[in-house]
Structure 1
Amino acid sequence: MQIEIRKGLALQPGTFSAVIAPEKVMVAALNSNADLQRFLFLYIGEIYSRILSGIQRSSTNFEIRRAFTAHQLLTMLREAGHSVVFVEHDPSLFDGAMNIIELVAGALKDVGRESLR
Structure 2
Amino acid sequence: MDWRQKLNIGIAVLLIANVGILVFALWRNRFDPVVTDLVLRNFPTIIGLPFAFIASFIVVALFRQSDAPMAFKGLGLEFQGASGEVILWLLCFVAIASMIKWFWVTQPLS
Is TM-score (shorter-chain normalized) higher than 0.5?
no
Q: Which has the higher strand share?
A: 1
User: So what's the TM-score if we normalise by structure 2?
Assistant: 0.29
User: Going by fraction, where is helix more abundant, 1 or 2?
Assistant: 2
Which of 1 and 2 has higher RCO (CA within 8 Å, sep 6+)?
A: 1
Normalised to the residue count of structure 1, the TM-score between the two structures is 0.28
